[in-house]
Amino acid sequence: MASKKTIEERKFRPARQEAQDARKATATAQTQSASYRLAFQDTDFLLREDLRPVRFQLELLKPELLLDEAGIVSTFVFYGSARIPLPEDVADLLATATDPAERKVAERLAAKAKYCEEARKLAQIAARYPVNEAGCRNFVVCSGGGPSIMEAAARGAADEGAQSIALNIVLPHEQTPNPYVTPELSFQFHYFALRKMHFLLRARALAVFPGGFGTCDELFELLTLVQTGKIKPIPILIFGREFWSRLINFEAFAEEGVISPRDLDLLTWVETAEEAWAAVESFYRDNGSAGPV
């Protein structure tokens, strides 16, 4: 009778081994031609215009597999500007303002430095959420991986000895992940659409701090997805009501009839990390759940 090992063992050679052997091919006119390369080792082939659907699939699949393998069930996502100074950098920012206009902008940015501290505190609280019996983790801190609010969030997780996720994006200027992000959970994207999708696939709470176009884009996409029922509601915590109300009159959307008044309830206004975490606890308690899953 055949042994279980004989029946279940892998029969095909692993792709990794095949790839290693392919590199050892004797150099000839044929083997040095681009057409001879294994398709998955041929960067020029993968970057062809008509291979975009494959690249989409790869950007969806790679983080999904690695986060699954890391036992990450849910995330606490942090959105916010990359330009707000950390508290320790405020003095330098103000010192570099050389004219009244620059000084005014620098002072406004400096006034928002408090939100970096709140992001760090909130990340610390989220990082303390217990690992379940199966070793799976919830409310893992996730951000864009850059400076400012994102760095503060990753630092907060690191303060508690916890991991954090970074979803970075390739930009014309350098976009290096901040040093507090967990290296093996730091991802880089070409497609904004896939990056935004990964922000929300595991999100069970989301904090939005003062930010620019990118933050607005991410916030309004989330609001649209919840409003239209594409995803179930999650706590959407908006820090800085004074800032956001100066930029966006949310109530005017309802007054003009282009959204329902109840859509405004999707936003939870907070100013501190403690308020934010209390809102998350209240959300899941009111929805009959002890946690995010």
Confidence check: pLDDT of 4 > 70:
no
Q: How confident is the model at residue 292 (pLDDT cuts 50, 70, 90)?
A: low
> For the residues 141-149, what does the mean pLDDT come to?
96
Q: How far is 90 from 145, CA to CA, in rounded Å?
A: 21
Residues 104, 41: contact at Cβ < 8 Å? no
Residues 68, 72, 76, 81, CA torsion sign:
negative
Mean pLDDT of the chain: 94
Residue partners of 267: CB distance under 8 A and separation at least 6: 223, 236, 238, 250
Greater confidence, 2 or 193?
193
Residues 36, 40, 41, 43, CA torsion sign:
positive
Give the global pTM.
0.91
Q: How far is 68 from 66, CA to CA, in rounded Å?
A: 5
Q: What would the pLDDT profile of 45-79 be if each residue is shown by its tens digit?
A: 999 999 999 999 999 999 999 999 999 999 999 99
Tokens of 153: 């969030």
Structural domains present in the chain: 73-286 (3.40.50.450)
Greater confidence, 31 or 3?
31
